[in-house]
């Protein structure tokens, strides 16, 4: 029981990160009906921004701490947001009126370009990241001596995810940007006729999703203490799986799917062969596409005639 609880805590922490990345996928799909396959690389860039900023702050004599973590998070948001804007402007907007496969190919090309750009600038080796919040507290101790521990960083990751989810929900439901976003999602042509700047709304959606992916990248860099230029590819696929599992186009569904994928990965690694944890995750994607294509919280897409 104690081992299961420990793995569940680890899985929820990992799932919170997947959920933040998945929100970017689901928001972009909801507004333009396309998948941004370069989104995982934005998450990876957020991790490398954390590496660079921590190296600079360490050289200036600032040791890793919660305050430094928050500073790095705030500094990473503009960088990853700029990448999100650039992806929309270069890879999507010129091809929005083209056949549906063209933006997909363009996004995959952008993903490969960003991977190689980071590899060229930072090298192909793993980059170590110093621990920001060492330690934690013991939640439970078994008679066998096994202890269930919660790290301080895990608490920060989950708390920050909850705060961001609440803030994002309020943004979508109670602001003019949120109303414009929902209008574009329902009928882009009608939204344009009503005076909504569709291009600006789509660009802001990409920027918002990229900011969340950057935050997730910084937190993962602190959590695992190592980053690699290829990290975005696999994390992006798992976050996409989370978005499909929860219901592509549903923000709560993206977070729910992320939590479920994190739990599946952690529990499979605990009780079965860790080499096949990715197989388990993508098997879930196949089963969802077969038996419930709309996902857990997704709605059937109604064709407008």
Chain segment 133-185, per-residue pLDDT in tens: 777 778 777 777 778 888 888 898 899 888 988 888 888 888 898 899 888 88
Query: Look-up: residue for tokens 């939590």?
Result: 259
Q: In this structure, what token pair is assigned to residue 6?
A: 């420990």
Give the other-Cβ count within 10 Å of 170's Cβ. Answer: 11
CA nearest neighbour of 54 among 182, 178, 209, 222: 222
Torsion of CA 42, 44, 49, 55, to 10 degrees: 180
Correct CATH for 2-291 of 1.10.20, 1.10.10, 1.10.3470, 1.10.1760: 1.10.3470
Share of the chain above pLDDT 90, in %: 20
Q: Residues in the chain, how many?
A: 305
For 141, phi then psi, to 5°, come to -130, 125
DSSP code of 89? I
Domain spans of the chain, in order of start: 2-291
Mean pLDDT of the chain: 86
Average pLDDT over residues 274-301: 82
Q: In this structure, what token pair is assigned to residue 235?
A: 């994390």
CA nearest neighbour of 11 among 277, 201, 289: 277
């Amino acid at each position: 029981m104690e081992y299961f609880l420990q793995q569940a805590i680890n899985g929820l922490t990992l799932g919170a990160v997947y959920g933040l990345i998945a929100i970017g996928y689901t928001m972009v799909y909801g507004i333009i009906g396309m998948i941004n396959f370069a989104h995982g690389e934005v998450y990876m860039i957020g991790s490398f921004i954390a590496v660079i900023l921590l190296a600079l702050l360490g050289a200036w004599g600032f040791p890793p701490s919660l305050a430094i973590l928050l500073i790095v998070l705030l500094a990473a948001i503009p960088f990853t947001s700029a990448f999100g804007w650039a992806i929309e402007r270069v890879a999507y907007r010129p091809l929005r009126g083209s056949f549906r496969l063209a933006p997909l190919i363009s996004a995959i090309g952008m993903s490969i370009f960003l991977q190689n750009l980071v590899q060229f600038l930072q090298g192909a080796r793993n980059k170590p990241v110093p621990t920001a919040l060492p330690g934690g507290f013991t939640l439970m101790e078994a008679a066998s001596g096994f202890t269930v521990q919660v790290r301080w960083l895990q608490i920060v990751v989950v708390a920050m995810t909850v705060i961001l989810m609440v803030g994002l929900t309020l943004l979508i439901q109670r602001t003019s940007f949120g109303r414009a976003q929902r209008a574009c999602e329902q009928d882009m042509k009608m939204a344009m006729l009503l005076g909504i700047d569709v291009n600006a709304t789509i660009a802001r959606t990409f920027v918002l999703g990229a900011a969340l992916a950057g935050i997730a990248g910084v937190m993962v860099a602190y959590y695992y203490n190592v980053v690699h230029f290829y990290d975005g590819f696999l994390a992006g696929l798992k976050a996409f799986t989370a978005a499909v599992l929860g219901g592509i186009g549903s923000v709560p569904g993206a977070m729910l799917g992320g939590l479920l994928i994190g739990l599946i990965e952690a529990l499979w690694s605990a009780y079965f062969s860790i080499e096949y944890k990715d197989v388990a995750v993508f098997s879930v994607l196949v089963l969802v596409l077969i038996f419930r294509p709309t996902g857990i919280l997704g709605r059937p897409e109604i064709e407008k005639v």
